[in-house]
């Protein structure tokens, strides 16, 4: 039992680390809230140019009442290059402001944008919830990706090794510290999941041997176990070489 807990502790700490990083992001950056309040405005956005302010409470848009941030987004997106009237509450007073969303092409659809982010709040409980939800979401996404790889829906060429991670990290660094922190959390979750895979040489493989010993009621021959782990390690190194070569061809050749 103690050996099992000791082996499982490593991957578990990867999830704990990711959870802590995501909580810190929530505390520093804030967590999204679905309220009809304007968040940060971009300098070149239509919202700032029209006279909207961060913290304005949106009551109506084109005579249509809004009660959530999603309501605001949906109305704006459906009016590219069309002037729409915002009724906002600012300092206890109502103001009517005309805004013309700029058109933006998203895939095969044109939507309107005004250059404003959703509202956020910075407090402990929402940050804890954010950490839990994000950790769960990324764990699920990575597991789904592994499932598609196993079933052949993903090609091995889509995998990234150290070279691919380095290139991606370099791109993320240019986006800001919060993106870097989230990327670190995702990598930590990914490492935890991979380490738990029931493959020889990984922690998951060792846990499989512990389970077999429990079922058999006696230990497995150490030489045989060592040979299985050695073969597994060799195959993992071969896979790493293939993935690294694919990354080099993808990014540098």
pLDDT at 250: 72
What's the predicted TM-score (pTM) here?
Answer: 0.73
DSSP secondary structure letters along 143-195: HHHHHHHHTTSS-GGG---HHHHHHHHHHHHTT-HHHHHHHHHHHHHHHHHHH
Residue 223's pLDDT is what?
81
Separation CA 235–CA 238 (nearest Å): 5
CA atoms of 81 and 102, how far apart (whole Å): 5
Residue for token digits 């906002």?
88
pLDDT at 2: 65
Q: Give the containing element (helix H, strand E) for 64.
A: strand 64-65
What whole-number distance in Å separates Cα of residue 100 and Cα of residue 105? 16
pLDDT of res. 206: 80
- Can you give the pLDDT of all 253 residues of the chain as single tens digits? 666 777 778 888 999 999 999 999 999 988 888 899 999 999 989 999 999 999 999 999 988 999 999 999 999 999 999 999 999 999 999 999 999 999 998 878 899 999 999 999 888 998 999 999 999 999 999 888 888 877 777 766 667 777 777 788 888 888 888 889 999 999 999 989 988 888 777 778 788 777 777 777 777 777 877 787 788 778 778 877 877 787 787 777 6
Which domains, from first to last, does the chain contain?
2-31+122-252 (no CATH), 46-118 (2.30.42.10)
DSSP letter assigned to residue 36: S
């Amino acid at each position: 039992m103690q050996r099992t807990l000791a082996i499982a502790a490593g991957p578990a700490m990867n999830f704990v680390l990711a959870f802590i990083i995501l909580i810190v992001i929530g505390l520093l950056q804030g967590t999204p809230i679905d309220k009809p309040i304007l968040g940060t405005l971009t300098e070149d956005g239509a919202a700032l140019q029209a006279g909207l302010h961060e913290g304005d409470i949106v009551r109506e848009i084109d005579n249509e009442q809004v009660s959530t941030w999603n309501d605001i987004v949906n109305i704006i997106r459906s009016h590219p290059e069309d002037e729409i009237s915002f009724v906002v509450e600012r300092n206890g007073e109502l103001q009517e402001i005309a805004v013309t969303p700029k058109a933006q092409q998203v895939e095969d659809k044109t939507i309107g944008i005004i250059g404003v982010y959703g509202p956020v709040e910075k407090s402990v409980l929402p940050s804890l919830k954010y950490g839990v939800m994000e950790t769960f979401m990324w764990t699920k996404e990575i597991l789904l990706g592994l499932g598609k790889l196993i079933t052949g829906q993903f090609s091995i060429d889509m995998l990234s090794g150290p070279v691919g991670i380095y290139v991606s990290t370099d791109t993320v660094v240019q986006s800001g510290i919060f993106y870097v922190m989230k990327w670190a959390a995702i990598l930590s979750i990914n490492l935890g999941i991979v380490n738990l895979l029931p493959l020889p040489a990984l922690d998951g493989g060792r846990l499989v041997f512990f389970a077999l010993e429990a079922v058999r009621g006696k230990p497995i021959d150490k030489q045989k176990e060592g040979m299985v782990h050695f073969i597994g390690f060799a195959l993992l190194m071969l896979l790493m070489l293939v993935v690294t070569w694919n990354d080099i061809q993808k990014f540098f050749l």
